[in-house]
Amino acid sequence: MRLLLDSHLCFWFALQRERLSPAERASLYQLDNDLAFTSVSIWELRIKWERRFVSGERKGEANPLDVLNFLRRAELPEIGLTSELAASELHVPIAHSDPFDELLLTVAQETGRKLFTRDAKLRGHPLVFHAE
C-alpha cells in the first residue's frame, strides 16, 4: 500500500517509537508498504515547535530538523509542496477546518496514496489509512 505519513506519525517514527501502536509499527515496517512523507508535515511540526506557552516552554515536542534528518536517513521519499498540489481541490472534503489535514489529504489524493494517521477526526475518509 502507498502511504503518506501524517505529521504525528513522522514524529513518533523518528523520535518516539514507543508511542506507536503494535499495528502502526507493523505497518511502518511491512516491506510491501511504500512509505513517504511530505514537507507539509515538517512545516506543521515547525509551527508547533516555534509556539510557546506563557511560561516560555515550547508547545511542540520535537525539533522538525531532527524528524527530517531521521526520515532522510531512513530513505523515505519526500513529497514537496508544489503550487499544483497547493491549488488542487480535495475531492472528498473533511468536516473540520484543519488546514494541515486538508493539505495532507490533498497531497495523498494527488499522489495516489492514503494518509496514514491515528487522527480520529479523519476516520472513515476514503483517503485515510488507520492501522488496526
CATH code of the domain containing 22: 3.40.50.1010
Question: Is residue 93 scored above 90 in pLDDT?
Answer: yes
Question: Is residue 56 scored above 90 in pLDDT?
Answer: no
Report the pLDDT averaged over residues 79-99. Answer: 94
- pLDDT attached to residue 61: 83
Domain that includes residue 16, residue range: 2-129
CB-based burial of residue 40 (10 Å sphere; 0-12 exposed, 13-18 middle, 19+ buried)?
buried
CB-based burial of residue 50 (10 Å sphere; 0-12 exposed, 13-18 middle, 19+ buried)?
exposed
Question: Is residue 82 scored above 90 in pLDDT?
Answer: yes
Question: Is residue 24 scored above 90 in pLDDT?
Answer: yes
Percent of the chain with pLDDT over 70: 100
| pLDDT interval class at 59 (50, 70, 90) | confident
- pLDDT attached to residue 52: 87
Question: Is residue 94 scored above 90 in pLDDT?
Answer: yes
Number of domains in the chain: 1
